[in-house]
Amino acid sequence: MTLTRSLFSGLLLLSGSLFSLAQANSDSPSLTMMGTTPSVPKNIVIMIGDGMGPAYTSAYRYYKNNPDTEEVEQTVFDRLLVGSASTYPAKISGYVTDSAAAATALATGVKSYNGAVSVDTQKQPLTTIMEKAKQLGLATGVAVTSQINHATPAAFLTHNESRRNYDEIANSFLNTDTDVMLGGGQRYFPPKLLKKFEAKGYQHISDFAQLDTVTEPKVIGLFADIQLPWAINDKDAHKLSKMTSKALELLSQNQDGFVLLVEGSLIDWAGHNNDIVTAMAEMDEFANAIEVVEQYVRQHKDTLMVVTADHNTGGLSIGANGEYIWKTDIINGVSNSPDAIASLALADGDWQSQVNAKLGFELSPEEAIQLSLARMQGVEVMTTAIKKIIDLRSYTGWTTGGHTGVDVQVFTSGPASTLFNGYQDNTDIANKLMSLLPKKPKVASKPKAIAPATSKSAATKPAAAPSLEAQPLQIKPVVIKSEKSKSMATKAIATPELKEPSSDTVTLGKPI
C-alpha cells in the first residue's frame, strides 16, 4: 500500500512538472497523458462545502427532486462528481478533523493538528497555494459565508497556531496582498484596521448592495458582524452566488490568472446544530455558487474548478428511527430557520398559528404541548424542540453535534480535472492543484499590456499589474505566536454570542 502510494505520488509529481512544462512552453498548453488530453488551467477555483459529507449531497438531491416526475433529477453535485477524499488530520489529532486542519491540508498539502491554521505540528508556517499563486503573479480571492477570518479562508491566506486567534488572523490579512475578500466578520476589522487596508489600496464596503458598484480589486467586503444570515431567512439575497460572481469578475482582470476560494461555510454550522432545513438551504445556495462557477468554466476553458468538503458534520442520516422513509415535503415546507421560528414564537402572543404557518404543517396536540413547555424555557430550548419535531416528521437522523471521519466527495470541471478522479487524500488535492500552477512567474508585464489592448480587461490591466508584480518572490509566511493565545482561546469558549458550533469550540479548547 505504501509502495502504491509513493508510486502514485511520484506519478503525480511527474505529471505536475509535465503540466507546468507544457504551460511554460506554450500559450495554449495541452498535452496527451494516458490517452486523455488535459490542459493546464490558468485560473483555479477551489470550492469547499464546509461539513458537506456525502449524506448532504444525497439529501440535497431528494430535497430538490421534483415529486411530479418518476425519475429523481440530478443535481450539480451529481453532474460534477469525479472522486472522493479522506480527511483525517495529523496523527496527533486522530481520525476526525476540524475545519482548520482540513483547510490546512487543502491549502498546503500537509496534515496538521486540529486548530492549526496552515502551520505544521511544530507550529511552523506551511506555504499555501494562495501564497504560491501570489508569488507567481496570480490574483487571489476568497468569498465565504462565515467571517472571512474563520478557519477555512484563514488557512488559505495566513498562518496561526490557533484558529481561535481571530483578531491576529484578521490583522495578518493586511500582509497577504489578497485581491478580493468577501464575507462576514465586521467585528474583527475595527475602523483602525480598515484604515490600514484602505492605505494599501483596498476599497472597503459593508453594504451588500455596494457589491454591484465595485469594478476592480482590491476590495474587502464585510457584510455581517460575524457570519452572513442563514440563506433560508434571506431567500432572495443569493449572497454566496453573487459574491462568487463578483469575485470571478474582479479576479479575471489579472491576465496572469487567479486562484479563488469559495466556501459554503454555514452548511457546517447548520450541521453542528442538527438543523436539516437550514442545512438544505445552505446547500442550495452553495449549489447556486457552484453553478455560477460551472458557467464561468464553460465560457473560460482555461479555468479549473474543484469542489469538495473539508469533512462531514453531524452524522446526518436520510431516514431514521427504523423507518425506510425520508419526507422532503416536510423539509421543503419550512420557510424559516428553527431559531428564527423560535424567536418569533417567543415574541408573539398568538404563537401557535405563527409557528404552524412557518413550519408549513399543523402541529399535532402532542407537539403543541411539547412546544408550549419548551417556549417557557427560552429561545434555545424552543429551537431544539422545533428541530426535533421536524426531524421526527421528516425521518431525519443525526449521530453527533460535531464532525465525523467519513470521506468526502470531489467534484471537478475544466482543464486537468481528471487528475482528481478516484480516491485521494485531502493533501493530494492541494498537491495536485499546486502542481498545476505555473513554475515561474511570467516576467514581462509590458508586452502583455500591449498585446490585446482592445479588450476591457486589458484596459484595466495596467492599474492592476504593478501591485501584483511588486510582490517579493520570496516566501515570507508570517506566523504570529501570541502569548495571549491560551487566554484568548478560553475567552472564545466563554463567548456564546459567537454563535459558532459549540462542539468545535469544545474540541479546540482541548490542549492539542
177 labeled part of a ligand binding site: no
- Binding residues for Zn ion, rule CB under 5 A, total 2
Strand ranges, E, within 70-158: 81-86, 139-147
Is 86 annotated in the active site?
A: no
Residue 310 found at the interface with Zn ion (CB under 5 A) = no
Region of residue 73 (left: phi > 0; alpha: psi -120 to 50; beta: else): beta
Q: Which range, of 107-115, 276-284, 370-378, 496-504, touches Zn ion by CB under 5 A?
A: 496-504
Backbone angles phi, psi at 452, to 5 degrees: -95, 70
Nearer to Zn ion, 75 or 404 (CB): 404
Q: Min. distance of Cβ 95 from Zn ion in angstroms?
A: 15
Of 20, 39, 93, 99, which is the active-site residue? 99
For CA atoms 94, 122, 84, 77, the dihedral sign is: positive
Q: Min. distance of Cβ 480 from Zn ion in angstroms?
A: 23
Q: Report the first-to-last Cα separation within the chain, whole angstroms.
A: 29
Residue window 225-264: x/- pattern of binding to Zn ion, with contact defined by CB under 5 A: ----------------------------------------
Cβ-based neighbours of 196, under 8 Å, separated by 6 or more: 174
CA distance 108 to 79: 28
CA distance 113 to 94: 9
- Supply the DSSP string of 191-229, one letter for each residue: HHHHHHHHHTT-EEE-SGGGGGG--SS-EEEE-SSSSPP
Q: Which range, of 32-40, 61-69, 458-466, 498-506, touches Zn ion by CB under 5 A?
A: 498-506
Nearer to Zn ion, 116 or 174 (CB): 116
Backbone angles phi, psi at 184, to 5 degrees: -105, -175
The angle, 0 to 180 degrees and rounded to 10, between the axes of the packed helices 54-64 and 276-299 is 90
391 labeled part of a ligand binding site: no
Among 256, 268, 294, 367, indicate the residue that binds Zn ion (CB under 5 A): 268
For CA atoms 94, 97, 103, 106, the dihedral sign is: positive
Nearer to Zn ion, 263 or 268 (CB): 268
Backbone angles phi, psi at 497, to 5 degrees: -70, -5
Nearer to Zn ion, 268 or 285 (CB): 268
Cβ-based neighbours of 184, under 8 Å, separated by 6 or more: 144, 145, 146, 147, 148, 222, 223, 224, 225, 226, 227, 228
Residue window 451-490: x/- pattern of binding to Zn ion, with contact defined by CB under 5 A: ----------------------------------------
407 labeled part of a ligand binding site: no
268 labeled part of a ligand binding site: yes
Q: Min. distance of Cβ 504 from Zn ion in angstroms?
A: 5
Nearer to Zn ion, 41 or 314 (CB): 314
Q: Which range, of 129-137, 159-167, 267-275, 458-466, touches Zn ion by CB under 5 A?
A: 267-275
Q: Which range, of 137-145, 149-157, 160-168, 500-508, touches Zn ion by CB under 5 A?
A: 500-508
Q: Min. distance of Cβ 286 from Zn ion in angstroms?
A: 15
The binding site for Mg(2+) comprises: 50, 150, 152, 263
| Residues within the interface to Zn ion (CB under 5 A) | 268, 504
Active site positions, annotated: 99
The binding site for Zn(2+) comprises: 50, 268, 272, 310-311, 403
